[in-house]
A and B are shown apart, each in its own frame.
Chain A
Amino acid sequence: MKVKKLFAPLIIICLIMFIPLLFPNPFLMHLLISIFLFGLVCESWDLSMGYLGLFNFGHLAFFAIGAYSSGMLALYYGISPWITMIVSSIITFILGLLISLVTLRASEFAFSLISFAFQSMFMHWVRSGGGPAPGEFGMGGATLTGGTQGLGAKFSIPPFQLGPIIIRAGANKIPAYYLTAIIFVIVTYAMYILVNSRFGLAAVALRDSKTYAISRGINPLTYTAIFISISTFFAGMAGSLYAHLMGVVGPEIIGWSNVVIMCCIVEFGGLGTIFGPAAASFLLISLTYYLAGLSAYKNIIIALIMLFTLLIWPTGMAGAASWFKSRYLNRKIWEKRRGGV
């Protein structure tokens, strides 16, 4: 690999790794942890929305399923969070596979609808509590999912543990920061490899011209389903990470306003790119923290940002970056591109 190409990513990785040493501010740590976690969710959402062109309404359901399943397995059955993270990612992979195989045979709209219905169903079940919690956890009428109070409200969800170090976004956030940052970098790199592989080629081909892609031998159902399952795999992983770092997870994490924020991040970052949503996550999550007090205005502002991006600058931040690059760095005349990268 050429050194020049590695330059920018390496700088960013160094920055990420050294920030806690330069600015050990706990608020900043927590903000960055949120940014990385939601960045993971948004990047994986971009796989199905941007690269495939399918509106996966229920993507966040997989985040929630990852969080709840991992949390429940660790809390009620004492399984190590490292294992439950892998298990819950596999669960979301399989669920994503099933849903896409069943619904894509009908139409893409059916897929959007069913994934949304699936999300509603799941949150419905979560809010209702889902029955008594197993064993001693069920005493005092505690429910399986913790209902609207959340899982881990009474007994915290077990944290990750590396030998003597407890990794939790609690008092000492630094181990949690490093865990999140490392996973973020690795997963982002994995997604980068995926989209530049032949699977990414199939996805983009299907999006750009389905008839043409089929006429060159791509089985739309298989490759779409695989791509979606991979996106839900990573969503589940992010959810599991969230559950064990925060110790508690409630149904409001995928409430409507969070859905809109994350959708905006994907859009604003640039549909069909990996680094776009990552960068937009930095900007927009920080913005939402800044606007935390004005919740109704926050929703309107985020929705308007999304609308303006769609109307005026559809390639998003990633598009702006490549425009900037070709204009000033490569000294080529900027040429307008359609859609994403």
Chain B
Amino acid sequence: MLVDDLSVIIISTLVSGSIYTLMVIGLTMIFETIQYFNFAHGTYFTYGAYFIWYLINITKINYLIAILLLFPAAFILGYASQKYIIQSLVNREASHLVLILATFCIGSVIESVILLIFGGRLKRLPYPFEGYIKFGGATMSYHKLLIFITSIMLLVIFTLVLYKTKRGTAMRAIAQEREASYLVGIDVRNIYAITVGLSAVLACVGGWLMGCLLFMTPAFGGDILWKGFIVCTLGGRKAGMRGSVFASYLVAFIETTLMRYIPMYNVPPILFAIVIISLLIRPEGIFVKGSR
């Protein structure tokens, strides 16, 4: 019994953790480089799911092509909102509040537009791969496996971009020292926009994958965003990529374990309590790279 439980918990942790990772990596990237939390990130999630839905149900495009089209569409969404809207606010005084409000607005607009176009009724995307795989007494659907593999792949690709490409190095440079980056000739605004674009891609892919698993509503990205914020708070502001990934899987694990043994209704308050406790004990976050 316990082994069954354990395998279910592990699978759910992998799935949830992967989704949270997709969500949180983008958030962390934006926070470290441009220093704001993108409250519109949840709506990118929603956008990804509805974009695919629109393509395969309204314009009847092949599923695979729709998925391929998602990447540029997501990138453009993130890139454009950063470059044309947020950029003008980055150097304002009290920028941290102003940027939160601005992304809040953008998120609101996107969500309302999606609600307007698609209505509030629940929708669902078809699985790209049907079927199950059995191992060690546990069954895992191909889709869940896909979620895990996709998130690992995207994580690896993203890390490669960050460490091996010129643009990625520029992103890391700006995260460390913005002024100096200007001085060495990095086009900071462009890199900002690319950062948001890339994180939007991660979020939209997450949205598509979740849209197959859960019912889609215009607001479902918001729920995942909230979990993403919990991960960020637990992980700490300066957790970096590694810390964020660990924190995502940790939160997923805690949540899944709790859900197994406690009615679903009570899980959010307990998660909430855990975050409060961790804030009391270690305010700077659990996975922070320390300085003495």
Of B108, B230, B283, the contact of A106 (CB 8 Å cutoff): B283
Q: A307-B102, A311-B89 are in contact. Are A107 and B237 (CB under 8 A)?
A: yes
Residues of A within 8 A of B226 (CB): 116-117, 120
B234: min CB distance to chain A, Å:
10
- Let me know if A300 and B279 touch, CB within 8 A: no
In the complex, B153 has a CB within 8 A of chain A:
no
* Cα-based distance from A54 to B101 in the complex (angstroms): 11
Of A55, A302, A339, the contact of B101 (CB 8 Å cutoff): A55
A144: min CB distance to chain B, Å:
15
- Let me know if A105 and B279 touch, CB within 8 A: yes
In the complex, A25 has a CB within 8 A of chain B:
no
- Let me know if A121 and B94 touch, CB within 8 A: no
Chain A residue with Cβ nearest B229: A113
* Cα-based distance from A110 to B286 in the complex (angstroms): 13
- Let me know if B283 and A110 touch, CB within 8 A: yes
* Cα-based distance from A148 to B200 in the complex (angstroms): 35
Q: How many A-B residue pairs have CB under 8 A?
A: 111
B103: min CB distance to chain A, Å:
10
Residues of B within 8 A of A114 (CB): 233, 272, 275-276, 279
In the complex, A21 has a CB within 8 A of chain B:
no
Residues of B within 8 A of A116 (CB): 226, 229
Of B37, B101, B229, B280, the contact of A267 (CB 8 Å cutoff): B101
Task: Tell me the chain B residues, 254-292 only, with Cβ under 8 Å from chain A.
Answer: 265, 268-269, 272, 275-276, 279-280, 283-285
* Cα-based distance from A299 to B37 in the complex (angstroms): 22
Mark each residue of chain B from 97 to 119: 1 if its CB lies under 8 Å from any CB of chain A, else 0: 11011101110110111011000
- Let me know if A307 and B106 touch, CB within 8 A: yes
Q: A53-B97, A128-B265, A311-B89 are in contact. Are A303 and B112 (CB under 8 A)?
A: yes
Mark each residue of chain B from 72 to 86: 1 if its CB lies under 8 Å from any CB of chain A, else 0: 000000000000010
In the complex, B219 has a CB within 8 A of chain A:
yes
In the complex, A103 has a CB within 8 A of chain B:
yes
Residues of B within 8 A of A110 (CB): 233, 279, 283
Of A108, A113, A297, A303, the contact of B105 (CB 8 Å cutoff): A303
B117: min CB distance to chain A, Å:
9
In the complex, A112 has a CB within 8 A of chain B:
yes
In the complex, A248 has a CB within 8 A of chain B:
no
Task: Tell me the chain B residues, 129-151 only, with Cβ under 8 Å from chain A.
Answer: none
In the complex, B242 has a CB within 8 A of chain A:
no
* Cα-based distance from A116 to B100 in the complex (angstroms): 13
In the complex, B59 has a CB within 8 A of chain A:
no
Residues of B within 8 A of A260 (CB): 104, 108
In the complex, A49 has a CB within 8 A of chain B:
yes
- Let me know if B106 and A113 touch, CB within 8 A: no
* Cα-based distance from A263 to B100 in the complex (angstroms): 12
Of A49, A113, A120, A311, the contact of B97 (CB 8 Å cutoff): A49
* Cα-based distance from A114 to B230 in the complex (angstroms): 9
Of B116, B232, B279, the contact of A102 (CB 8 Å cutoff): B279
In the complex, B93 has a CB within 8 A of chain A:
yes
* Cα-based distance from A311 to B229 in the complex (angstroms): 26
Q: A304-B109, A307-B105 are in contact. Are A112 and B100 (CB under 8 A)?
A: yes
Q: A53-B96, A128-B265, A303-B108 are in contact. Are A296 and B116 (CB under 8 A)?
A: yes
Residues of B within 8 A of A256 (CB): 219
6 contacts between A and B (CB under 8 A): A116-B229, A117-B226, A117-B275, A260-B104, A300-B108, A311-B88
* 16 extra interface residue pairs, beta carbon distance < 8 Å, beyond A55-B101, A303-B105, A307-B85: A108-B96, A113-B275, A117-B230, A121-B272, A124-B265, A124-B269, A260-B108, A271-B94, A303-B112, A304-B105, A306-B105, A307-B102, A307-B109, A310-B98, A310-B105, A338-B93
- Residues in B lying within 8 Å of A, measured CB to CB: 37, 85, 88-89, 92-94, 96-98, 100-102, 104-106, 108-109, 111-113, 115-116, 219, 226, 229-230, 232-233, 237, 265, 268-269, 272, 275-276, 279-280, 283-285
